[in-house]
Structure 1
Amino acid sequence: MNTIWIVLPILTLLMFQLGMELDRASFRRVVRRPGAVAAGLAGQLLLLPLIAFGVALAFRLPPLFFLGLMLIACCPGGSSSNVFSMLAKGDVALSVTLTALSSIITLFTIPAVMSLATRFAATHSDMAIHLPTGRLFLQNIVLQFLPMAAGALYRHRCPQRAERLHALLGRIAFPALMLLAALFFLQYADTILRHLGRLGMAAAALILLAMLGGALLSRMLRTGRKARRTIVIEVGMQNAAQAIAIASSPLIFDSPQMAIPAIVYALMMNVILLAYLKTLRGTAR
């Protein structure tokens, strides 16, 4: 069974759900709260790929795992971050804005960063690795931008129905992502278990360093406690489904092995973020 046919509807579902959260107020917040938005985007778009590059080198990941980790760092924030931000008593409106903006900006940054990463991996290995940039951009438009636009349009045209559908999708999205991770794990269990130690530590290091970086950026720009919690979560949670879709797509890398870091990342991400929520609740007492 090719997991790409499971990834595609899940990713489309997640992006459609995100689109239904968007309104004009989401983008007006960029002007009203430039410091918080700048901290979140700098953490996701600039700091995270640099951290992933350093982590991949530190753990001496093989070329395909190196590219898989870099791919995670290039992807936008995941829609689950909005739920985690709410549970952390953060700024949910800021979370939606950051997820939306990063989803749009990464249409252009993913091809650029992954092109550099692919060249680096090819130079430092015997593998012939090629990135079809045009196909990557086209796939991101179809699977990312168009579902978001459709979700936003549906909310504009049918606000009450969109509210009910959004609530339903919110309950389905996270279990769907976990189902994807479970099916992928079962299909590639031998490879995942063989590299789980190194990949698990690399994914954990990426998430923890990203969260720390988000916290430092928000403190530097004095965003306030609620915004800081949201930025920590946004920088620490990336769209694993999109990373899997790009890695395993027959049009792009066509490499299930490259998608394995995203599966491990998705599992580690939820464990670490749940621990973060528990820590916040402990400090609130």
Structure 2
Amino acid sequence: MANVNQIFNKYLTWIVIGVALAAFVFDQSFVWASNYTTLFLQIIMFFMGLTLSVSDFKEVFHRPAYVAMVSLMQFIWMPFAGWALTKLFNLPPELALGVILLGCCPGGTASNVMTYLSNGDVALSVTATSISTMLAPIIMPLNISLYAGEIIEISFWPMFWSILRVVFLPVVFGVILNSLFGKKIASYYSVLPTFSSIGVLLVIAAVVSVNKETIMHSGLLIAFVTFLHNSSGYAFAWGVCKLLKVDVASTRAMQIEVGMQNSGLASSMALNAPFNAPQASMAGAIYSIMHNVTGSLFASYCRYKDAKSAESSPAAVETPVTEA
């Protein structure tokens, strides 16, 4: 199983692309998965919870300003950027809804892996993902109502309970089990991200299979829009961190955390009540591919930059970089 986990970590971007292509070509073989996207997402969030303990939230108390910065950028900039892009490109209502849903989501679990690969602050990334996920049941309905209210009639409480059931409760249940039986399940920690990745792949396959026709007509446009959305998160976070003179490791964690949304949640919500909008789910599926590609490129660039710095100044390996 360890070998499988290494393969997923090393080739996740290509695996995501491969699954999406397979679901597009053999769409009828994957349609069944669209009936279980909520379950897949609950499993993903449960595995996320299993990897967390109460002590993982200590960064909130050690560096509350940094954690707050990530959440503010996540829930203020990304919903606005998604909405602005739908207006800029005059997207049809259902496609616009998908981009807005994506923008309103919390950070994705893949951000923790990408932060590690980019030599970023992993502790900050894990804490920020956890906090944004916990805040999602309250903030997401508010943002969706604000930016998508003109597209679809939205009731706060049904959406709140839906996000609570799908996101919050599975994570909390996982954290509780980890707190009670952490030592017994510690040997499985390394493979939990692989199970989560499989869940994300099934959601992507489901979305692509039910949106084949829409992808053929609007896929390139949505790919470009999601690329701009993803890139805007990196750029905005970098600008804020530069302005506030945040250290490089924390800046990288914040860039990735803001730029990488929980695309599986966006797709699952679009496919199920209260939205039931299959075309809207396409933005999340394409974003899953996009943010893995851009995240991998960003991590490669960061590691290359650090290696060049180490070559030019051996002391740079031991001395934290203070400028991005």
The equivalent residue for 2:213 is 190
Distance in 2 (CA, whole Å) between partners of 1:3 and 1:256 is 13
**Counterpart position of 2:198:** 175
Partner of 2:39: 9
Task: Give the one of 281, 287, 291 matched to 1:269.
Answer: 291
Residue identity matched to 1:25: S
Give aligned-pair identity as a percent: 26
User: Is contact 1:35-1:223 (8 Å) kept?
Assistant: no
Contact 1:17 1:166 in 2 (8 A): no
Match of 1:256 in 2: 278
Letter of the aligned partner of 2:52 in structure 1? Answer: L
Letter in 1 for 2:114: F
Give the stretch that moved more between structures: 74-83 or 217-226. Answer: 217-226
Q: 2:131 aligns with which of 80, 97, 101?
A: 101
Counterpart-to-counterpart distance in 2, 1:233 and 1:179: 23
Query: Would you say how many aligned residue pairs link Structure 1 and Structure 2?
Result: 277
Partner of 2:82: 52
Alignment of 1:1-285 (within 5 A): 1=31, 3-121=33-151, 129-249=152-272, 251-285=273-307
User: Counterpart of 1:6 in structure 2: which amino acid?
Assistant: Y
Deviates more, 1:10-19 or 1:229-238: 10-19
Shift of 1:23: 2.8
Partner of 2:148, secondary structure, is helix
Once the two structures are superposed, residues 166-193 of structure 1 have per-residue CA deviations (whole angstroms, 9 ceiling, x without a partner) of: 3222122223313431342133212112
User: Does 34-43 or 83-92 show the bigger shift?
Assistant: 34-43
Distance 2:100 2:182 in 1: 38
Partner secondary structure for residue 120 of structure 1 = coil
- Secondary structure of residue in 1 paired with 2:153: coil
Distance 1:162 1:233 in 2: 29
Q: State the secondary structure of the residue aligned to 1:158.
A: helix
Q: Is the 8 A contact 1:130 1:253 kept in 2?
A: no
- The structural deviation recorded for 1:3 is 4.2
Aligned residue type for 1:253? F
Distance (Å, rounded) in 1 between the aligned partners of 2:261 and 2:185: 25
Q: How big is the alpha-carbon RMSD for the aligned residues of Structure 1 and Structure 2?
A: 1.7
Q: Is the 8 A contact 2:40 2:202 kept in 1?
A: no
Q: TM-score, normalised by structure 2?
A: 0.81
Gap change, CA 1:248 and 1:3, over 3 Å in 2:
farther
Deviation of 1:226 after TM superposition, in Å, equals 0.9
Unaligned 5+ segments in structure 2 are 1-30, 308-324
Q: Is the 1:246–1:253 Cα contact (8 Å) retained in structure 2?
A: yes
3-state DSSP of counterpart to 2:149: helix
Moved more, 219-228 or 59-68: 219-228
> In the aligned structure 2, how far is the partner of 1:63 from the partner of 1:75?
19
Residue 150 of structure 2 aligns to a residue in which SS? helix
The structural deviation recorded for 1:4 is 4.2
Tell me by how many angstroms 1:2 deviates.
Answer: 5.5
Could you state the TM-score of these two structures normalised by the residue count of structure 1? Answer: 0.91
